[in-house]
Chain A
Amino acid sequence: EAQVTQNPRYLITVTGKKLTVTCSQNMNHEYMSWYRQDPGLGLRQIYYSMNVEVTDKGDVPEGYKVSRKEKRNFPLILESPSPNQTSLYFCASSSSTQTGGFYGYTFGSGTRLTVV
């Protein structure tokens, strides 16, 4: 089944303890993105990647890092989490069409992170 898999689904951690949220897709997609979703603010992009070893900042990148060493994986790293990073996180992937457009993004099921 074509899918984007995020782990963990739920995580409670303490301020300052480094953590990684994994994201893997099995569709050979070039494009991958991370979003956070907060009440009243909607979905905001954190980082994106257009291909292996190509990453760039989205709208809210502060406090996050990413890497894209393999096409299928795009982990999100919080080096020193803080309470304002408590949120629902989504990883998504997509690819281009043969006519130069792009398919819609396929989203993972989300990771609910609480930083205390």
Chain B
Amino acid sequence: TQLLEQSPQFLSIQEGENLTVYCNSSSVFSSLQWYRQEPGEGPVLLVTVVTGGEVKKLKRLTFQFGDARKDSSLHITAAQTGDTGLYLCAGAGSGGGADGLTFGKGTHLIIQP
């Protein structure tokens, strides 16, 4: 079974600060995705990274896939209160995603005004 370890589990920072969330595994993934989940709702896809070393930007969010495709990071610049939520990383294995995803346990992010 492939495992994804996310850190930190909880993070509370002030608006305007920067932060990084990490997602690590000993397994290689064919791709890795980041989702954001609001209370009472299902996860919503933010980004998919496929190639080792790949970097993708989504406004103030920067996502990076490790060179060996075993880890990823999410960096938020100048955090805003609207960034508050549960951030989940999820890896696709040998089935390429057709057989579902392995999820990390998530990072609960609170941005204080």
Contact = CB atoms under 8 A, between A and B. Distances in A.
Contacts of B105: 40-42
The 10 closest A-B pairs by CB, nearest first: A107-B42, A104-B45, A42-B105, A102-B97, A43-B103, A33-B100, A48-B100, A45-B100, A50-B98, A31-B98
Interface in B1-42: 1, 31, 33, 35, 40-42
A-side binding surface: helix, strand, loop or mixed?
A: strand
Interface of A: 4, 30-31, 33, 35, 40-45, 48, 50, 56, 58-59, 90, 92, 94, 96, 100-110
Q: How large is the interface on B (under 10, 10 to 19, 20 to 34, 35 or more residues)?
A: 20 to 34
B42 A109 contact: yes
Contacts of B96: 96, 100-102
B98 A92 contact: no
A4 to B, nearest CB: 8
Contact of A96 (B40, B50, B98, B104): B98
A92 B42 contact: yes
B101 interface: yes
A25 B84 CA distance: 28
B42 A45 contact: no
B99 to A, nearest CB: 6
B42 A31 contact: no
Interface string B70-113: 00000000000000000010101001111111111110000000
Please indicate which of the listed interface residues A31, A40, A42 has the most CB atoms of chain B within 10 Å of its own CB.
A42
A107 B44 contact: yes
